[in-house]
Structure 1
């Protein structure tokens, strides 16, 4: 049933002024556009210095779906610099759905190629919760795409750089520390990375803090047997975060808000590449494109169940969706 809803949102009239016409909004220029093979519809990705816009609808008719994102946050993937074709894409997010729109052309490699009109191509790929939902192809001769400048240069001018390892943009304001936050330790000839105790803190609330130290934040609620161990805990609900207390000490925290920041600057909403830059490296056992990162607290004597563990979950937009700390000792 969800699949039908997603397709409906793609083709019907959601999120929009009813009489809006296809094409770019006033004051914006096209990054790419085309007519869709076999559907009598067209797609436009447009931009100006502040925002990028996705529009889909009947050819020359009212727009069926419009999505807008700021240039700072828009998920634009530039050409890799290799391959037989030049192509770029932009992804827009709408709840569980993601719309990836791209355009490109074959590179000329001979004088004969230079004499001919290059083959152009484009697409729209729709996913739901990261799973493939729909693929649309552009009619080649209708594809409008010009390589160079555009969204890429505006993002650079806004102080961002492309990280080809994580496939995300990184703000120039986020710089690595002189020494890596994610520390390297060696135990019985095994090298692992860990986080210092000081990093297990969100907005000044630390793992292990006593309940009395949290009094100014409010009164906790008693939660009976939340994890099936037969023990009750106290939970403090705050805006965008909750704190779990057991035996008068904080043993778990979870946040989905950028307002609660770790000492290193790690927070909800930053890109995967920015997380890696702040950590100083990718945690062992993960890659620069993993959907989550985990790191344990540093200890002189590593054990199979570390006292504290940090988990960072990324959303489908490649940005931090949630950060939480857990204690294995509870």
Structure 2
């Protein structure tokens, strides 16, 4: 959200990292308390041009990997299609000679649109404020989260007090045309009670009735029904495709729009079909014993630039 504030961290918050931007006469701050993380950018000592905030649970903070000479961390704030990644760090000394030298500090601000970098600004090294250890990492852990270095995202910690029982991984192995493929059980092809293959005449039992429209170029047998955040395409009255774009339309396992990659991998049990843990899309077929007598379905989970599920798509390979 946007708001006005004075330069520096809001009252009661401490800095994650901050600096003055080289050649811009501006400064940037990323700050936090146990509830909220904030971002501000603007003229040095003045009111910020942009002020954003996010909950501790949802803020995209990436801790140091533990690898390399440079210790650095970053936090990213999102504002619609735009993202603002602010990072800071320093080189750790590895010899007695290096211990006698001034510590090299560095920082940056990366501005992107839909994941594509628009501008990268360097910090003036001597103005970089960055303190490694504890801080926002501890705040996120206290909120019941754990860091998944595999997917570079946070997910609920199943070992935290009062955590709900962890579900068994739902991703299974199946055979398609003689090839072993990752697959999901048929009961997962459902969004808030609406199954792929469900007959449109029965939709009124689950959601308010909406008149369908013929899909141009596909014939009268194909119709499209639109609900808030859900598109359904039908063939001869049966749903053959669905796409969800809001968190309301949740899969039985709990995967929904807004889930982080780490949460999805935890629910699935692994990354499907050899994809990378940071891939933009995960896909899997339905697990069926007899593909000659049953419809063949598949699911695609697409992630946005914020590393969270942006859409869930179900489809039947053939009507």
* Normalised TM-score (structure 2): 0.92
Q: How many Å apart are 1:302 and its aligned residue?
A: 5.5
Partner of 2:49: 64
Looking at structure 2, the residues matched to 195 and 72 of structure 1 have their Cα atoms a distance apart, in angstroms, of 29
Worse-matched range after superposition: 206-215 or 77-86: 206-215
Partner of 1:311: 300
1:118-137 equivalences in 2 (<5 Å): 118-137=103-122
Q: How many Å apart are 1:292 and its aligned residue?
A: 0.9
- In structure 2, the gaps of 5 or more residues are 158-162
Partner of 1:193: 182
1:134-153 equivalences in 2 (<5 Å): 134-153=119-138
Say if 1:175 and 1:322 are closer, same or farther in 2 by CA, change over 3 A: farther
Q: State whether structure 2 residue 249 is matched by structure 1 residue 260.
A: yes
Partner of 2:318: 329
Which of the numbers 8, 16, 21 marks the counterpart of 2:3? Answer: 16
Q: State whether structure 2 residue 173 is matched by structure 1 residue 184.
A: yes
Could you report, residue by residue, the CA deviation over 1:38-63 in whole angstroms, capped at 9, with x for unpaired residues?
A: 11111111100011111111111121
Alignment length (residue pairs)? 312
> Is this contact kept in 2: 1:176–1:277, CA < 8 A?
no
- Could you say what the CA RMSD is over the residues aligned between the two structures, in angstroms? 2.0
Worse-matched range after superposition: 208-217 or 319-328: 208-217
> Is this contact kept in 1: 2:12–2:33, CA < 8 A?
yes
Q: Secondary structure at the match of 2:239?
A: strand
Looking at structure 2, the residues matched to 232 and 306 of structure 1 have their Cα atoms a distance apart, in angstroms, of 18
Looking at structure 2, the residues matched to 89 and 230 of structure 1 have their Cα atoms a distance apart, in angstroms, of 51
* Normalised TM-score (structure 1): 0.89
Partner of 1:224: 214
Partner of 2:278: 289
Partner of 1:4: none
Could you report, residue by residue, the CA deviation over 1:106-147 in whole angstroms, capped at 9, with x for unpaired residues?
A: 011112222232100000011111111001001111111000
Say if 1:261 and 1:187 are closer, same or farther in 2 by CA, change over 3 A: closer
Q: Secondary structure at the match of 1:156?
A: helix
Q: How many Å apart are 1:223 and its aligned residue?
A: 2.0
Partner of 1:210: 199
Partner of 1:46: 31
Could you report, residue by residue, the CA deviation over 1:197-222 in whole angstroms, capped at 9, with x for unpaired residues?
A: 11100111111122232123233323
Say if 1:222 and 1:259 are closer, same or farther in 2 by CA, change over 3 A: closer
Partner of 2:260: 271
Q: Secondary structure at the match of 1:266?
A: coil
Q: How many Å apart are 1:329 and its aligned residue?
A: 1.5
- In structure 1, the gaps of 5 or more residues are 1-13
Which of the numbers 91, 108, 111 marks the counterpart of 2:76? Answer: 91
Partner of 1:299: 288
